[in-house]
C-alpha cells in the first residue's frame, strides 16, 4: 500500500491547474442512465471514485470508454437495475443511481452506500423525496428496493437537521425529470455541483428551473437523450491548494479556480490575513503580513463547506492565537484531530467544535488518514512541519485529489509517493 512522504519547510511558488469537480462528475455520470443513447462528459478527474462509478454503470449494462479527461457513456443497453454492495459500499455518491434507475426502468435495487467514516449520513431524505414522486420503497437485507410504475410530480421539502441534502437534491431532480407533471423541490441544495447537474440534464432535454436556489422547479418530460457536457472545476481541490499556499507563506496561482464558487472560503482566508486576487482564469494566493487566528463554522452552501473544515483547522495551527472551529454538517467529523496531535498540535475537542491554540511547533510524524479531507489536512500539516511526515492509507486521498503529490511537487514541495 502506498504512502506519501512530506518534508516540510518549503515555500510553495508557481502555478497549478485545478481538475474537474468530483462532486459534480459523479451525479452527472449517474444521470446518463436517464437516457438511452450516448453522452460525452469532459473534464472528468482521474480518481478512484470516478473509477468506481464507471464500474457501477458497467454493471448496469452501460458501455464506457475513457480517453484522458473525456468519458463516453452509452446507456442504450442498460437493463440491470441492481447496483451491487461490493461497489456501492465503497462510495456514498453511488446512491445517485437510485433516482435515474427508478425513473427509467421503474425499479431500482441499490445497496446502502459507504464512503468516508465522518459520522452518520442517512439517506432518509432521498427516500422521502422519491416517495413523494410515487415510489414504493423498502429496505431489505441492506438494499434500498424502489418501485414505481410511473413517477408523478409533486411538492418535495428536503430540509434536514443539518441543512439541505446535496445528493438527495440531485436524486430528486434526476427522477423528477422523467416524472409526469411538475415537481417543486423546496429547501433544495444550492451547491454549484447541483447547477452543473441541472445544466447537463437540460442539455439532455429536461426542463429544470431554479437550480442554485432553494426552490427548484422541474417539468417532467417523456424522454431524455444523450448530451455533451464539460464538468466545472473542483472548488474543494482549489480551496485545499489555497490553504497549501497560505500555510507555507507561498505565492501560487491556481488556474481554473472559480472565484464565485469559493466566496465563503475566500472570506475566511482573507480574514486570516491571506491575500487573494481574482484573475481572469484563476486565483492568486499570497501571504504578505503573516496569519492570524479566526473562528469558522461550517454550513450548507453558500456557507463555509464542511469539506474544507479539516484544511482550515490545520491552517489555524500555524497562527498566533486561539481559533474555534464548529462543525454543523457532520458533528463527528474530527477524526483528523488525533493525528494532528501526534504532530504537536494543540487542539481540544468539545462535542461538535474544537478549540485550536495556534503557534505550536509542528514536527513531522507517521500519521494515518481516516477520510478524504482528513488526508489532505495531514499533508498540509506536513508542509508546515519540521522534518518528515509519512501519511499512510492514502487510498482515501486518491478518491478525491488527482495527483496531489505531483501538483504540490510542481509548486516546490518536497513530497513523494512511496510503496
Q: What is the mean pLDDT of residues 148-155?
A: 96
Active site includes 190?
no
Q: What is the mean pLDDT of residues 33-56?
A: 97
Residue 270: which H helix or E strand, with range?
A: helix 263-271
3-class secondary structure, 130: helix
Across the strands, what pairs with 375? Answer: none
CB atoms within 10 A of CB 157: 14
Share of the chain above pLDDT 90, in %: 90
Query: 116: which 3 cell numbers?
Result: 468516508
Query: What is the rounded distance in angstroms from the CA atom of residue 18 to the CA atom of residue 256?
Result: 6
Q: Where are the domains of the chain?
A: 3-18+233-418, 22-230
Q: How far from each other are the two terminal CA atoms of the chain, in whole angstroms?
A: 6
Q: At a CB cut-off of 8 Å and minimum separation 6, what does 104 contact?
A: 33, 34, 35, 36, 78, 178
Query: What is the rounded distance in angstroms from the CA atom of residue 255 to the CA atom of residue 252?
Result: 10
CA dihedral sign, ordered 215, 219, 220, 224: negative
Query: What is the rounded distance in angstroms from the CA atom of residue 339 to the CA atom of residue 239?
Result: 21
* Reported pTM: 0.96
Scanning the structure block, which residue is given the C-alpha cell 500555510? 247
Q: What is the pLDDT of residue 160?
A: 79
**CATH match of 22-230 with 3.30.70.1060:** no
Query: What is the rounded distance in angstroms from the CA atom of residue 63 to the CA atom of residue 59?
Result: 9
Lowest average pLDDT, out of 116-120, 233-237, 279-283, 406-410, goes to: 116-120
Q: Which of 153, 213, 152, 154 is nearest to 187 (CA)?
A: 213
Q: What is the pLDDT of residue 89?
A: 86
Q: What is the pLDDT of residue 17?
A: 98
348-399 confidence digits (pLDDT tens) = 999 999 999 999 899 999 999 989 999 999 999 999 999 999 999 999 899 9
Q: What is the pLDDT of residue 312?
A: 98
Query: What is the rounded distance in angstroms from the CA atom of residue 332 to the CA atom of residue 354?
Result: 11
Lowest average pLDDT, out of 90-99, 261-270, 399-408, goes to: 90-99
Q: What is the pLDDT of residue 11?
A: 97
Query: 66: which 3 cell numbers?
Result: 475513457
Assess whether pLDDT exceeds 60 at residue 211.
yes
3-class secondary structure, 213: strand
Lowest average pLDDT, out of 59-73, 158-172, 232-246, 375-389, goes to: 158-172
Angle in degrees, 0-180, between the axes of helices 98-105 and 124-132, rounded to the nearest 10: 20
Q: What is the pLDDT of residue 142?
A: 87
Strands 346-350 and 322-326: unpaired
Scanning the structure block, which residue is given the C-alpha cell 498540535? 345
3-class secondary structure, 286: strand
Assess whether pLDDT exceeds 50 at residue 120.
no
3-class secondary structure, 385: coil
Backbone angles phi, psi at 127, to 5 degrees: -65, -45
Sort residue 359 into left (φ over 0), alpha (ψ -120 to 50) or beta.
left
Q: What is the mean pLDDT of residues 206-227?
A: 98
Q: What is the mean pLDDT of residues 144-155?
A: 96
Catalytic residue, from 96, 116, 172, 190: name it: 116
Is 132 within 8 Å of 122 (Cβ atoms)? no
Q: What is the pLDDT of residue 118?
A: 46
Assess whether pLDDT exceeds 70 at residue 101.
yes
Residue 114: band (very low, low, confident or very high) from pLDDT cuts 50, 70, 90: low
Query: 15: which 3 cell numbers?
Result: 502555478
126 CB burial (10 A radius; 0-12, 13-18, 19+): buried
Q: Which residue has the higher pLDDT, 90 or 170?
A: 170
**Mean confidence (pLDDT) of the chain:** 95
Q: What is the mean pLDDT of residues 7-15?
A: 97
CATH architecture for segment(s) 3-18+233-418: Alpha-beta prism (3.65)
Assess whether pLDDT exceeds 60 at residue 405.
yes
307-350 confidence digits (pLDDT tens) = 999 999 999 999 999 999 999 998 989 999 999 999 999 999 99
Assess whether pLDDT exceeds 90 at residue 163.
no
Q: In this structure, what is the dihedral angle of CA atoms 68, 70, 76, 78, given to the nearest 10 degrees?
A: 70
Assess whether pLDDT exceeds 60 at residue 121.
no
Query: 393: which 3 cell numbers?
Result: 492509507
Amino acid at each position: 500500500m502506498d504512502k506519501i512522504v512530506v518534508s516540510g519547510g518549503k515555500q510553495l511558488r508557481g502555478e497549478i491547474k485545478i481538475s474537474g469537480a468530483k462532486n459534480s462528475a459523479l451525479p452527472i455520470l449517474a444521470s446518463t442512465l436517464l437516457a438511452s443513447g450516448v453522452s460525452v462528459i469532459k473534464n472528468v478527474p482521474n480518481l478512484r471514485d470516478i473509477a468506481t462509478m464507471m464500474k457501477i454503470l458497467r454493471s448496469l449494462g452501460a458501455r464506457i470508454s475513457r480517453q484522458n479527461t473525456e468519458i463516453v457513456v452509452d446507456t442504450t443497453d442498460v437493463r440491470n437495475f441492481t447496483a451491487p454492495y461490493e461497489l456501492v459500499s465503497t462510495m456514498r455518491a453511488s446512491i445517485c443511481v437510485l433516482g435515474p434507475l427508478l425513473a427509467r426502468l421503474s425499479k431500482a435495487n441499490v445497496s446502502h452506500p459507504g464512503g468516508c467514516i465522518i459520522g452518520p449520513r442517512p439517506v432518509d431524505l432521498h427516500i422521502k423525496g422519491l416517495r413523494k414522486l410515487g415510489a414504493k420503497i423498502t429496505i431489505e437485507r441492506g438494499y434500498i428496493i424502489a418501485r414505481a410504475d410511473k413517477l408523478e410530480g409533486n411538492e418535495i421539502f428536503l430540509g434536514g437537521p443539518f441543512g439541505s441534502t446535496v445528493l438527495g437534491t440531485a436524486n430528486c431532480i434526476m427522477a423528477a425529470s422523467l416524472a409526469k407533471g411538475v415537481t417543486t423541490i423546496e429547501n433544495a441544495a444550492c451547491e454549484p455541483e447541483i447547477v452543473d447537474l441541472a445544466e447537463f440534464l437540460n442539455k439532455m432535454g429536461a426542463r429544470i428551473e431554479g437550480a442554485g436556489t432553494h426552490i427548484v422547479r422541474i417539468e417532467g418530460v417523456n424522454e431524455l437523450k444523450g448530451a455533451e457536457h464539460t464538468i466545472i472545476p473542483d472548488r474543494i481541490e482549489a480551496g485545499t491548494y489555497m490553504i497549501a499556499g497560505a500555510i507555507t507563506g507561498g505565492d501560487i496561482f491556481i488556474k481554473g479556480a472559480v472565484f464565485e464558487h469559493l466566496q465563503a472560503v475566500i472570506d475566511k482566508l482573507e480574514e486570516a490575513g491571506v491575500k487573494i486576487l481574482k484573475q481572469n482564469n484563476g486565483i492568486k494566493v499570497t501571504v504578505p503580513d503573516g496569519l492570524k487566528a479566526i473562528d469558522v463554522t461550517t454550513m450548507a452552501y453558500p456557507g463555509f463547506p464542511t469539506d474544507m473544515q479539516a484544511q482550515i483547522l490545520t491552517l489555524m495551527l500555524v497562527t498566533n492565537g486561539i481559533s474555534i472551529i464548529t462543525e454543523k454538517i457532520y458533528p463527528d467529523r474530527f477524526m483528523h484531530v488525533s493525528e494532528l496531535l501526534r504532530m504537536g498540535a494543540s487542539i481540544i475537542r468539545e462535542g461538535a467544535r474544537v478549540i485550536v491554540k495556534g503557534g505550536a511547533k509542528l514536527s513531522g510524524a507517521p500519521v494515518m488518514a481516516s477520510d478524504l479531507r482528513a488526508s489532505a489536512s495531514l499533508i498540509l500539516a506536513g508542509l508546515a512541519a519540521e522534518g518528515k511526515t509519512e501519511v499512510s492509507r492514502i487510498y482515501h486521498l486518491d478518491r478525491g485529489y488527482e495527483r496531489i503529490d505531483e501538483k504540490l511537487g510542481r509548486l516546490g514541495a518536497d513530497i513523494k509517493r512511496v510503496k
